[in-house]
Structure 1
Amino acid sequence: MREVKGFNMTQTINVVDAMCGAGKTSWAIQHINENIGQNKKLAFGDSGEPMKYIYVTPYLREVERIQEATDIDFFEPEAKGTKIKSFEALITLGRSVATTHELFKKLDLNILDAIEEKGYTLIMDEVASVLEQYDISKSDIKLLIDNGTIEIGENDKVVWLDDDYKGKFSDMKILAESDNLILQNGIAVFWTMNTRAFEAFDEVYVLTYMFDGQEQCNYYMANDIKFKKYSVKDSDGHYELIDYDPTLEPRKEMYEKLNIYLDDETNKKKSPLNSNYDSREKLTEQQRWSQLSSTWYRKHAIPKDLKQLNNNLRNYFRSVEPTENEYIFWTTISDFAPTLKNAKCKWNKNGDRASDNFVALNARATNAYGHCKSMAYVYNRFVNPIEKNFFREYDIEVDENKLAVSDLIQFLFRGCIRNGEPMNCYIPSERMRSLLKDWSEFKL
């Protein structure tokens, strides 16, 4: 087991773990508005200042929503110069800031120190990307070490030695100098969010769903960061946090509104659209269970299989559940979207919504597709084995089933089910359909 680095955070992270539509964002807006004028003691010194917030959300349009819905001035970093410099200037002035996940993960130690000094509360809408594999070969890692450009320090941290380095790994140098790079087993380099990104705040609230299955939860456990989960209670439009209780979730009611394309269980037959995309014969149980995974797409699917899957998608939206294109949203691995696109499932490399109903697998915290009546999730979610091994070195076992169903539910809630309306669902992976049913019965 790798030694876990020390974490000096005294408070506990507040994880608001509730289904989409339960009122997480509404609670956050209410919380901000109710605390206007309240003073908080600074981290250094005896004087107090009004509550200050950093609100982090995946999309710019959600930044605008928070600015409009709250009664304090939320400033958005400007693109003049660089946004990170603008962010730093706003913190220096003690302004409340609304920004995106992408900018938040770029905060350096100097900015985090300023945040701590000013006394901020962090509200993070949806979990952050806290772990990413850096694209570098084993031979390049060896070359950098042999040349004295880097060394591997305590806790496998990548330490950059060449201050004057300019070359193809300049971006890696920046990450290493922010104390954010780890070498795993000498073969894989990972960027991890610095724990100071949470330590620097007086209070932290993370708004999400099924936190236990997500990467950020594993990251917290690996770094010994304490967290407490809460549910949201809606009392006639007034929201409060209560002790976490998943049984309050209307899982059964939601599941019954999903018109899922299923196998013919009465006659023990596989429905064609759920079984004819794989040309291999006599599949083992493991092969059948892992179909439509990343490994299946990249190693086992032949052109014939992908063509059949393309036909299945078109057939589903034309014949099984006829739906106009503007009311469809669908997803798969982005690398294979150009192959699976068709007259019903549109894909535009520039993401032009006018000619595109493809939605990224990790889409969260957006209401842009709430009018869509039919969806397709053409994927079988597993954890990257290298990432799984990364956490295993901290004695953390990733719960792949919770992660998979969490991602699926997040995707489902991009559509009209978020408004309580019935929705047509094409989920060809047997495993993903099974996990969704288990979730509805509180088995996950």
Structure 2
Amino acid sequence: MTKIKVVDSIMGSGKTSAAINLMNNASKDENFIFITPYLNEVERIKKSVNNRQMYEPKVKKKGDKTQYKFESLHELLSQNKNIVATHNLFKNANDETKELILSGNYTLILDEVMKVVEQLQVKKHDLTTLFDSELIYVEDGFVKWNEEKKDYETRYDDIRDMALNNNLIYFKDNILIWNFPSDVFAIFNEVYILTYMFDAQIQRYYYDVNNIKYQKCITEFKNGQHSFTDYNNDHEKKLKERIGDKINIYEGNLNAIGQLDFSLSSSWYKNKSSYTLKKVKNNVFN
């Protein structure tokens, strides 16, 4: 059974550092997919993981053809490479993606929760066209694409791909809702989700609806490095107390800067002298 661990810990508590240590300390036969919402974080992970090479799916030329990022992801998966990519790319996961992951001995590290449910912005007349052309139909609440017409070239290719992947829900007779395939989480050896206040996240309710079991974890700093450990209700309270002890609230005269209308706007900065700007810097860095 897949072990899904939700690392529910406050920002700055070392979640990403713990994930990097997990990858650096893992055996060579374990493979990792690190998914992040930020492109600059992709570069950080590639540089910080030092006991295995992390590959980033990229657009590249292959002869006369262009290999796009999603094709590149599948190529890397087929080669059992360790991968770091973005949420937007991973959202396209389909049956082929799942097969390649399943055969690759992968652990997933998901940096921040994903947008796992999303209403598509499809105009009513476009939906009518799709139904009237018999390109789509509805079965058990899911939008299905007519298999006999799956090779047709239309401007609805994105809807076709989602429907063929069984990711589209038809709601209230005129709304299409994209739903990330929940079985993706079941094909990894382990899943780590790095987040904070998970109970208030949509992905938590998505897990509940799809009966996906998970356990909560936190980070700890031990023996000179961050790592994951079992959830402890007192951990966050103590962490906030330590952070609070390091915060001093300034209540001096420098706070007067910014009280007037339009203060600290972009035009305000452009029109102020170097003397005033120096005072602002003193307020920030002192």
Greater RCO (Cα-Cα under 8 Å, separation 6 or more): 2
1:146 to partner: Cα distance:
3.6
Task: Choose the corresponding residue for 1:227, options 214, 219, 225.
Answer: 214
The aligned residue for residue 149 of structure 1 is 135
Q: How does 1:285-296 map to 2 (within 5 A)?
A: none
- What one-letter code is carried by the residue in structure 1 that aligns with 2:13? A
Please say if 1:17 is aligned against 2:4: no
The aligned residue for residue 22 of structure 2 is 31
Please say if 1:107 is aligned against 2:31: no
Cα distance in 2, alignment partners of residues 107 and 167 from structure 1 = 21
Deviation readout 1:163-211 (Å, 9 max, x if unpaired):
2443332221121112111111223111111123212211111111111
Cα distance in 1, alignment partners of residues 151 and 22 from structure 2 = 47
The aligned residue for residue 59 of structure 2 is 79
- What one-letter code is carried by the residue in structure 2 that aligns with 1:14? K
Cα distance in 2, alignment partners of residues 166 and 175 from structure 1 = 15
Q: Is the strand fraction higher in 1 or 2? A: 2
1:143/1:54 Cα in 2 relative to 1: closer, same or farther (>3 Å)? same
Cα distance in 2, alignment partners of residues 345 and 36 from structure 1 = 53
Deviation readout 1:376-429 (Å, 9 max, x if unpaired):
xxxxxxxxxxxxxxxxxxxxxxxxxxxxxxxxxxxxxxxxxxxxx99xxxxxxx
* Contact 2:21/2:227 (<8 A) preserved: no
1:345 to partner: Cα distance:
9.3
- State the secondary structure of the residue aligned to 1:242: strand
Identity within the alignment, %:
33
Task: Choose the corresponding residue for 2:111, options 120, 125, 137.
Answer: 125
1:344/1:244 Cα in 2 relative to 1: closer, same or farther (>3 Å)? farther
Deviation readout 1:333-370 (Å, 9 max, x if unpaired):
xxxxxxxx752699xxxxxxxxxxxxxxxxxxxxxxxx
Please say if 1:205 is aligned against 2:192: yes
Please report the TM-score for the alignment, with normalisation by the length of structure 1: 0.53
- What one-letter code is carried by the residue in structure 1 that aligns with 2:187? A
The aligned residue for residue 80 of structure 2 is 94
Please report the TM-score for the alignment, with normalisation by the length of structure 2: 0.80
- What one-letter code is carried by the residue in structure 1 that aligns with 2:73? F
The aligned residue for residue 275 of structure 2 is none
- What one-letter code is carried by the residue in structure 2 that aligns with 1:15? V
Question: Where do 5+ consecutive residues of structure 1 fail to align?
Answer: 1-9, 38-49, 261-314, 326-340, 347-370, 375-420, 423-444
1:239 to partner: Cα distance:
2.7
Cα distance in 2, alignment partners of residues 148 and 258 from structure 1 = 65
* Contact 1:17/1:229 (<8 A) preserved: yes
Q: How does 1:23-422 map to 2 (within 5 A)?
A: 23-37=14-28, 50-71=29-50, 72-80=52-60, 81-154=67-140, 156-161=141-146, 162-249=149-236, 250-251=239-240, 257=247, 318-319=258-259, 342-343=266-267
1:316 to partner: Cα distance:
9.2
1:246 to partner: Cα distance:
4.0
1:29 to partner: Cα distance:
1.0
Cα distance in 2, alignment partners of residues 227 and 216 from structure 1 = 12
Cα distance in 1, alignment partners of residues 185 and 13 from structure 2 = 25
1:170/1:344 Cα in 2 relative to 1: closer, same or farther (>3 Å)? farther
- What one-letter code is carried by the residue in structure 2 that aligns with 1:206? I
Question: Where do 5+ consecutive residues of structure 2 fail to align?
Answer: 61-66, 271-280
- State the secondary structure of the residue aligned to 2:259: helix
Cα distance in 1, alignment partners of residues 82 and 189 from structure 2 = 14
